[in-house]
Amino acid sequence: MTSPAVTTAPVATATVPDTHTSTKRFALGIFDDEDVLLHAIDNIRAAGVKIYDVFSPYPVHGIDDALGIERSRLPIAAFFYGMCGLAFALWLQIYTLGFDWPMIIGGKPHIALPAFIPVTFELTVFFTCHGMVITFYTISKLYPRFKTPVLDVRSTDDKFVVAIELDEHSSQLPKLTQLLRENGASEVNQKEMTKF
Amino acid sequence: MQYVSPVREPLVTSGKTYHDVTQDICYQVEAAPNIRWMGALGVALVLLGVFFYSVYRTLWYGIGEWGLNKTIGWAWDITNFVWWVGIGHAGTLISAVLLLFRQKWRSSINRAAEAMTIFAVICAAMFPVLHMGRPWLAFYVFPLQNTLGSLWANFNSPLLWDVFAISTYFTVSLVFWYTGLVPDFATIRDRAKGKIAKVSYSLLSMGWTGSAKHWSRYETVSLILAGVSTPLVLSVHTIVSMDFATSVVPGWHTTIFPPYFVAGAIFSGFAMVLTLMLITRVVFKLEDYITLEHIALMNKIMMVTGSIVGVAYITEFFIAWYSQVEYEQYCFINRATGPYWWAYLSMMSCNVLSPQFVWIRRIRYSITMTFILSIIVNIGMWFERFVIIVSSLHRDYLPSSWAMFSPTRIDVGVYVGTIGLFFTLFLLFAKFFPVINMAEVKTILKYTVNDGPTYGGSNDGSRNPSGYHATPAIAPHSTPGVPASAPVNYDKQND
């Protein structure tokens, strides 16, 4: 777990570089304001530095464009799931009442399509919603876990954290510190994460 | 980037910072339960006991424990069912419809309203299931080939549509609510001191870190969920109304029912949201988040939907006369002047008259008056369903089978018991879950506590919390594609 201890001056880690492949080092630029953050992201990217990720307490509008995150294709998936639900609902009702066990109900035709509209609609919504939500949790690798590694605990409270991945000697750190500071970061920290 | 006019009332008052929001909302989750909460939970648990006793009697001795008779086969049970489902509608309306209409004030009430929806639907579901008499065979409603042969469910039946509508509504509301809770669970997790709290909120938060990519997807998911929930919420009460409207019972066989029921549902739902919110804001000291402005806005929605309901009552009467159907006419005259005149009068005065007081600004902004009105509306909407169900059934085509309905102790017990169940769930939610969507409130904070697009400045210069802002007034970040010469509110128009 992360510790909330904050070091304003970056301290080079004394430990021998971990050979474990999953250990990663990050320079963390801490920002207090979303507009400062967005300007900083533009400038950092313009300087040719690759941003690993940005952590924020709430969805910052415009951050997708600033970071170059592509528009999510979840709506397409949702439409697909909805169509599956629609097809399933129609098949279910037509097959069961029309073919498997046809019964005369109220003198209506076996396949009384207008009467099938409500269930078809509900199942379409059901499939759309649950299919999309399951996809969202799966692709985002969100699942219940006992311990959640966080780079800076304040990123779920009031700080915006820009994480930039470092090499194993943290050689770019002084340069990155300067870049982040110049762009309004209130702090720059270094952080190692074994499993991330 | 968004622009909010300085003439708008701030959505969150007292110049809260992001950290203040976290602090204020997490407080009641982290603090030891207070006496008032424990007292309320005690009362709710007693009522829950009444519920379990009444359900035990209903299951052990059968439906005969209720006051139903040969003529009136649906009474309190279906009244309560429709009442609870209706109450549930406000939550989805606030979280979905108001999201699509970009009503930012919804941010501080949507969490509790959605919780209310879920708990109300749980209460509602009790009644049809108990009315089955043998609830252990409830799975017969699903299209499963059952043990009796290859019979299937009847998809022509509005009661089966109801099964699909309510289960879809419940599960969709649940995942919508939970997905919104995940980032807030992460906030509580990162603040938690105790081991148990840390592990439980870590499990609940699904490993949320607030990554930009996740937020981007989260926003997409919220928008699509809101998009599908909007027709869903309208469909649910439409289908509930079809339980009545597709029958040939005078007083039920009415094409006006779907919109009339939906308006009534939103009306009663907002009344219940107001009741709950007025209590919650005081008990948890959330007056800065649920402001008088919020209360006035909800009052307005209540007034509009209440007036729609009023028009529907009058239209029904007119159509009964205009249809020239003797039975239809008798049914409505009997409703107003027959033995159930008092129920009709309660319905008319509570639902049509009382919301009209909201036209007066003083009442709209008065906490006491709003609370009283919200309770009156809840009572009125219960009577509406009672009038529709019982007064239409009690005098049918054959005068020899005319009857009256009188509830038994068990009828009352099941109803009062579900109120206990509802409040037990709501109180547990209010203690262990964040009652206000922190992440969403933070998104509106910067643009609503201050008078313009820059954070830190204010009218009187006193709002800027010391030390919070290292940097003074920052130029708003412009999105690529927005021309540099665009007016300040460019984004707002395209938002």
pLDDT band at B2 (very low <50, low <70, confident <90, very high): low
The pLDDT value recorded for residue B147 is 63
How far apart CA B231 and CA B433 sit, in angstroms, is 28
φ, ψ dihedrals at A111, nearest 5°: -100, 90
B334 vs B4, more confident: B334
Query: DSSP 3-state assignment of A4?
Result: coil
Residue ranges in chain A modelled with pLDDT below 70: 1-21, 195-196
ipTM of the prediction: 0.86
**Nearest-by-Cβ selection for B442 from A35, A58, A150:** A58
Neighbours of A70 (CB within 10 A): 9
Is residue B116 within 8 Å of residue B426, measured between CB atoms? yes
Neighbours of A187 (CB within 10 A): 21
B152–A157 CB contact, under 8 Å: no
The pLDDT value recorded for residue B3 is 58
The pLDDT value recorded for residue A77 is 93
Rounded to a whole number, what is the distance in Å from the CA of A160 to chain B's nearest CA? 9
> Residue A150's closest chain B neighbor by CA?
B209
Please give the average per-residue pLDDT across B156-168, as a whole number.
92
CB contact residues (below 8 A), chain A span 76-135, against chain B = 78, 82, 92-93, 96-97, 100-101, 103, 105-106, 108, 112, 115-116, 118-119, 121-123, 125-126, 128-130, 132-133
For residue B20, pLDDT beyond 60: yes
Domains and CATH numbers, chain A: 24-71+148-193 (3.30.70), 74-139 (no CATH)
Which of A39, A56, A122 is best to mutate for the B interface (most B CBs within 10 A)?
A: A122
The pLDDT value recorded for residue B295 is 92
Provide the whole-model pTM. 0.87
> Residue B149's closest chain A neighbor by CA?
A101
Domain parsing of chain B, residue ranges: 18-142+159-464
The pLDDT value recorded for residue B479 is 52
Identify the DSSP state of A160: E
pLDDT band at B444 (very low <50, low <70, confident <90, very high): confident
For residue B495, pLDDT beyond 90: no
CB contact residues (below 8 A), chain B span 157-196, against chain A = 158, 160-161, 164-165, 167-168, 171-172, 175-176, 179, 182-183, 186-187, 189-191
B261 half-sphere exposure, CB direction, 13 A CA radius: 28
* Chain mean pLDDT for chain B: 85
pLDDT in tens, B313-346: 999 999 999 999 999 999 999 999 999 999 999 9
For residue B112, pLDDT beyond 70: yes
B228–A123 CB contact, under 8 Å: no
Which of B177, B211, B438, B495 is best to mutate for the A interface (most A CBs within 10 A)?
A: B211
For residue B4, pLDDT beyond 70: no
